[in-house]
Structure 1
Amino acid sequence: MSTKLSENVLKALDSLGFKEFTEVQEKAIPYALSGEDLIVQSRTGTGKTAAFAIPILEKASMERHVQALILVPTRELAVQVFEDFRKLGKFTGLESVVAYGGVGIEQQARKIRNGAQIVVGTPGRILDLIGRNALSLSKIRFFVLDEADLMLAMGFIRDVERIMSFTPAKKQVLLYCVDFPQEIIRLAERFMRYPQHVKLISEDKSAQGVKQCFYQVMPKRKLGALIYLLKELNPSRAIIFCKTKRQVTDLEAQLNFNGIQASGIQGDMSQALRNRVMDDFKSKKTRILIATDVAARGIHVDKISHIINFVLPHDINYYIHRIGRTGRMRDVGEAVSLCYSDEMGKLGQIERLMGKTLEEKFLPDFIPAPKFTKTFHQSRSQNRFHSQRPRQYHEFRNKDSRRPSFRKSYNERYAE
């Protein structure tokens, strides 16, 4: 490694098996060590946590007060970032604490009062701690916003601004994001001083390391198609994406009812249960995880073989975020989308965004009908898994489901 680091940090890196910096670490760490404010655009799974953790661990002192605050949007990401700080800083003598909702606040407050130098937390819990006078930000030297664009999407930016108001004017601000929307730009202009900008998001959005395909499936056949594909693909580790928390809960019940072990993760779960689900997924005790885009954004697990879009995302840019969880570090991954007629327009937008036509595949004429729990039948009446189109339409689609697609290719549609 070319960047000069202390013996304690190098020892930790060696114990973790670090051989060389990733691109984001190589470009961001020197700026952060020099004390400059920094904006980094980098995808998940690129080693960005270490890119801000290493400089903080290098520059923080042993004084017993909070010197660094790392704000993250989700509990899962808070736990992961905290664990990275703990591992990277295990020989430095610095103490870290993680603060998030869903668990008791007193233990978190006690650790902060006892002199932890680094706090990793979600905006809501950080404001709670400030309101209880358990956390003072008057002496912090480092302020990190991780997944800033997701904080914006989740409505946390006003909370971030409130938290910023409790910090001193003189501090180093490090902002990490995937997208860089206008409101994040305004936030940077307001709180950062001549920041350096490291952009590692390629303009090529075609995801070369990911095999992508889609199946046209009527809504009422999606569950059966999903069960069939999971048995055929036999993924070593897969994430299935849904739109809502209720869809996650329902789909988890239906898959398990049909003999496919799967676990869902969503915001209404207790933290203990969320932790158990993630531990099982990381250890492959459970190979299939069902999640929404928000819940999955804070999940960083290597060696994911398949991404399955049970429902296409509302924002087409989230398609890129979803499939970027597979095919990492020169691995080859596969992304499968189950689409019905009303989603074909959105699929076309995704193809235009990526600059490529996705391969269409076809299901067999006969797929065994899945078993349904009572909950599923109730959800069907609430239009969570099927559309309200006339029965004749579904019968027509059944008869023609094996015909070749008449969609124009990307080149035909967008040649002009």
Structure 2
Amino acid sequence: MIKFPGWAQRNNEGPPDLDQVMRDLSRKINNMFGKGGGSQPTSSNGGNINLPILPIIAVILLIWLATGFYMVDSGSKGVVQRFGKMTDDTTEPGPRWHLPYPIEKVTVVNMEQVRRLEVGYRTTGEGGGGKTKQPREALMLTEDENIIDLQFAVQYNLNNAKYYLFNNRATDDAVMSAAESAIREVVGKNKLDDLLQKGLADTSQRMQTILDSYKTGVHIISVSLQSAQPPEQVQEAFEDVNRANQDNQRQVNEGQAYANDVIPKSRGKASRLLAEAAGYKLKIESEARGNASRFEQILAQYNNAPDVTRQRLYLDAQEQILSSVSKVVVDQKAGSMLYLPLDKLMNSNAAAAPQQSQSLQSLNTPAAPVADPTVDRSRDAFRSRDRESR
């Protein structure tokens, strides 16, 4: 506290003269800057003149004001605090200014920086070549009461600078807690085999929901599963079970493939047999109706002319019977049997007729008939037997 001389003596006379107070203050400030003890220039009314104090104060004020300039980089935001209290102002990238400390303070937050958090393991060594397991974080219980060892990495950035600064004491701890909570919830609702095959689906969305409920200002980019396997103590037994399941699935697939091959063929064969049976049925029914209709017609003719109808039926039956057997001609007068192969003669003549017509067309000249050796032999046999009978 600065005490001015003469105040004690003038307590009862009112405040001291203002000029006297300013002169005393100027003298004390000059003494502080090393200018005391010498003769000071005086004004015409006898007062001291303090010329350097005002420029110094101005320079100090300018320097203090200049400390309020700051730069916000691209992808970052500045959060302004006034007397330690958060304001509504959030500065965008570029050169900015605020009231210098201790009135205002600015915290610049990188919003686009991708941060990485490892759960269940920690990267060690240069270049991240080694890993150290964290069993407390990695071991989780599944729905079917099995234990699974999960290792995953979470990548995130920020979406609200104010929430990030003032709602979190430790952001990594908040993200770690949300990640463990979300993944333990997902693991607890799925079986071990499903987790090993499908992975951690919808985990990032669940983590984002938890973090948004606490207003952490964190945005989850991705959750990448590094490892998912049973604990090392039961790894061998689990692999045996897994191989057995794979063999079982392979046999099921083979059986299904065989069924897919055989069943369509069997169905096709059954359909073909049904179609053939239906066709045979129609054929038999048609033949039966035709025979019945023919019999009715024959009956009507038989009633009109029995002898003629009976003879015609006999001849028709003989024609049907003899059409498919070899013919033998017997001369009743000679009393000997003459073998005359009429069926062969007819077949040979029918086969020779097209050949003769083709020869006539190609040569365009009449061709001499060629004697059939079978006919010649038949004629010779007939003549010899005729001479013997004579």
Structure 1 length as normaliser, TM-score?
A: 0.15
Between Structure 1 and Structure 2, the one with more strand by share is 2
Structure number with higher helix proportion: 2
Give the alignment's TM-score, normalised by structure 2.
0.16
